[in-house]
Structure 1
Amino acid sequence: MKKIEGNHSTEERFLMLGFSDWPSLQPVLFVLVLLCYLLTLMGNSALVLLAVREPRLHTPMYYFLCHLALVDTGFTTSVVPSLLANLRGRALRLERGGCLAQLCASLALGSAECVLLAVMALDRAAAVCRPLRYAGLASPRLCHALAGAAWLGGLTNSAAQTALLAARPLCAPRRVDHFICELPALLQLACDGGGQDSTERQMFAARVFILLVPSAVILASYGGVVRAVWGMRTRGSRRKAVGTCGSHLTAVCLFYGSAIYTYLQPAHNYNQRRGKFISLFYTVVTPALNPLIYTLRNKEVKGAARRLLGGCGGRARCTVSQAGREGGECYPGAQGWECPVERV
């Protein structure tokens, strides 16, 4: 059903073209997206389970990492179902309400990830620059407050941007050369005139704020880390500090690089064909890579996984030969030999 008012339409459906202009690529993308989604679900679920079950991971770093895993899972879930449906057909029609709901969810979770990555940078900077005061600086109360601020900031930015877009008239035909109801793609449908330029400037300012302010916090945090590492005397301390921050810095570069390209350019300069491939990277591929980035070289997480799967616990009972292999020292206990396993 369509109704015409003035020079723009109030048709309630958007035609999402997705990758229909690349028909030979669609089967490959379908398999890739499905594989990345399954990796995202399994990797992030395993990360949260380990962080909750393993007492040695009850630290601020893994607390924020749990929130990042939840954000990533929700973020990719807001995109993948409609994308997989799109990849199996020529195009997908979305109701206006469904499109705005998808926009609101993806914006909220993406914005929350922006703030959360900045919070994690502050945490890493405190651990490296103020190791003796770190326990007092990263108190549980402060960690809860910072995580809550990340979620609240994401919801606030999403609500503001979605409300401003919903108030804008969108001209027909409502053909979106994208696989998701993403802000830059939808803004290209906006009708001119009626003070709409002012609204677009407000939306652009909000995007600049949610991306550049956390970016400035991350840069300042890593500036302090570099100074602290430069002043360390031993090579082992430097290697440990770099290892502590390397995973987070990799995740920041992957997420912020693509997000800044997508959102910090005027709507009239947005290239939808290139933009949807970049969006595919940070909405589907990056959430699948994050669990690997944070765990692949993380000895604490790998050790927790081994213990959860049945290895010797922190003071678990084991044989003398097992203790020798693990590098611990056994002592006689009430029910046989007991040994604290070396923390890996």
Structure 2
Amino acid sequence: MKTGNESIKTVFILSGLFQYGHMDIFLFVAIIILFAVALMGNLILFLLIQLDTRLHTPMYFLLSQLSFMDIMNISTTVPKMATDFLSNSKTITFLGCEIQTFVFIVLGGTEALLLGFMSYDRYAAICYPLHYPLLMSKKICWFMVTCAWTSCSINALVHTLYVFHLPFCRSQLINHFFCELPSLLQLACQNTSQYEYTFFMYVCCILMLLIPLSLILASYSLILAAVLHMRSTAAQKKAFATCSSHLAVVGLFYGAKIFIYMRPKSYRSVAHDKVVSAFYTIFTPVLNPLIYSVRNKEVKGALRKWLEKHFLQHL
């Protein structure tokens, strides 16, 4: 607890997504509907992968982890944002804000690494199909996921401990709809420029964003070269179909993250950051299961089989 010239902070106030009071009910209903769709879509995809033995492959194992992250991601920020539309006091406790920041950083970094591992999985499957069972064994898959969660948890813990030990003496108002790290730094009455431009920018952005993105670009460059040398048109179509879904998800994730965290400070706008953050935290978890299921015959087949077993046979 801070004393002296530093004000004691037990709660923060969130400014929210929009400042239009007459639209609060509409926004609440819209957010709740999107939350329910995202939760149901990702939960169904996660359970299908667990229950259908045909989906017990490295690609779907990693996809189940992505669905699990999307469930956690939307559950971390959206329920609080939705209730704030109906509340006159948009407060969040110091501890609640700390937990929200930690979980959000963990999920962001882990998803970045996971998308890199998913691109390597497609590279191994298409470029080295005979060695694929060895390159993507069950042990290696678990090692990848464990490394992603562990490294990003340590990274998030370092950031969270640093930020929440700063003296917050400027204001209690966080100009955002959740406790995002850049917004919190604006409340500190201590100079954080060195942290922002060294540790945060280089460690967080380069290690957690640019290195996985480089792996993705390298993997898909090699995949494209391999696919173009395939003689079978059917094999080419299958390869493009399995990769296009992943590339769409990569575009959504990295587009939002790079826009928020890697723009020069002089070009940043709070309003724009809020909109992009809303897209990432709300719409991406809604779109991800749709992207992976609409053009995926195996997922659609597993869903059809599950529906026939549990519902259609009783009609």
Q: Are residues 1:62 and 2:86 paired?
A: no
Q: Secondary structure at the match of 1:172?
A: coil
Q: Are residues 1:23 and 2:21 paired?
A: yes
State the match for 2:199 in structure 1: 202
Once the two structures are superposed, the pairs formed by residues 109-120 of structure 1 within 5 Å of their partners are: 109-120=107-118
Within the candidate set 95, 103, 123, 1:97 is matched to 95
Aligned partners of 2:90, 2:20: CA distance in 1, in Å?
15
Structure 2 unaligned residues grouped into runs of 5+: 310-315
> Are 1:188 and 1:267, in contact at CA under 8 Å, matched by a contact in 2?
no
> Are 2:13 and 2:91, in contact at CA under 8 Å, matched by a contact in 1?
yes
Question: Offset at 1:268?
Answer: 6.2
Distance 1:275 1:54, change over 3 A: same
Question: Offset at 1:15?
Answer: 1.1
State the match for 2:161 in structure 1: 163
Aligned partners of 1:91, 1:186: CA distance in 2, in Å?
19
State the match for 1:232 in structure 2: 230
The ranges of structure 1 where at least 4 consecutive aligned residues each deviate by more than 6 angstroms after the TM superposition are none
State the match for 2:146 in structure 1: 148
Q: Secondary structure at the match of 1:178?
A: coil
Q: Secondary structure at the match of 1:15?
A: strand
Within the candidate set 47, 66, 81, 2:45 is matched to 47
Aligned partners of 2:143, 2:163: CA distance in 1, in Å?
30
- The aligned amino acid for 2:194 is S
State the match for 2:182 in structure 1: 184
More helix per residue: 1 or 2?
2
Structure 1 unaligned residues grouped into runs of 5+: 312-344
Question: Offset at 1:164?
Answer: 1.6
> Are 1:64 and 1:116, in contact at CA under 8 Å, matched by a contact in 2?
yes
> Are 2:170 and 2:189, in contact at CA under 8 Å, matched by a contact in 1?
no
Moved more, 80-89 or 61-70: 80-89
Aligned-residue CA RMSD (Å): 1.9
> Are 1:207 and 1:264, in contact at CA under 8 Å, matched by a contact in 2?
no
> Are 1:19 and 1:26, in contact at CA under 8 Å, matched by a contact in 2?
no
Q: Specify which structure has the bigger relative contact order, considering alpha-carbon pairs within 8 angstroms and separated by 6 or more residues.
A: 2
- The aligned amino acid for 2:238 is K
Aligned partners of 1:120, 1:3: CA distance in 2, in Å?
44
State the match for 2:249 in structure 1: 251
Question: Offset at 1:224?
Answer: 0.9
TM-score, structure 1 normalization: 0.84
Q: Secondary structure at the match of 1:79?
A: helix
Q: Secondary structure at the match of 1:26?
A: helix
Question: Offset at 1:56?
Answer: 0.8
Aligned partners of 2:9, 2:251: CA distance in 1, in Å?
39
Aligned partners of 1:143, 1:213: CA distance in 2, in Å?
19
1:210-263 per-position Cα deviation (integer Å, ceiling 9, x unaligned):
111111111111111111112112222211110010101000101110011112
Q: Secondary structure at the match of 1:33?
A: helix
The sequence identity of aligned pairs, in percent, is 37
- The aligned amino acid for 2:284 is T
Aligned partners of 1:248, 1:102: CA distance in 2, in Å?
27
Question: Offset at 1:10?
Answer: 2.9
Aligned partners of 1:158, 1:122: CA distance in 2, in Å?
25
State the match for 1:5 in structure 2: 4
- The aligned amino acid for 2:179 is C
1:239-292 per-position Cα deviation (integer Å, ceiling 9, x unaligned):
111001010100010111001111223556532111111101101110111111
State the match for 1:322 in structure 2: none
Q: Secondary structure at the match of 1:103?
A: helix
Distance 1:3 1:234, change over 3 A: closer
- The aligned amino acid for 1:5 is G
> Are 1:170 and 1:190, in contact at CA under 8 Å, matched by a contact in 2?
yes
1:122-173 per-position Cα deviation (integer Å, ceiling 9, x unaligned):
1011111111221221111101101111211221221111112112222322
Q: How many aligned residue pairs are there?
A: 307
> Are 2:7 and 2:169, in contact at CA under 8 Å, matched by a contact in 1?
yes
Question: Offset at 1:89?
Answer: 3.0
Question: Offset at 1:45?
Answer: 1.3
Q: Secondary structure at the match of 1:78?
A: helix
State the match for 1:277 in structure 2: 275
> Are 1:51 and 1:57, in contact at CA under 8 Å, matched by a contact in 2?
yes
> Are 1:79 and 1:102, in contact at CA under 8 Å, matched by a contact in 2?
yes
Distance 1:219 1:70, change over 3 A: same
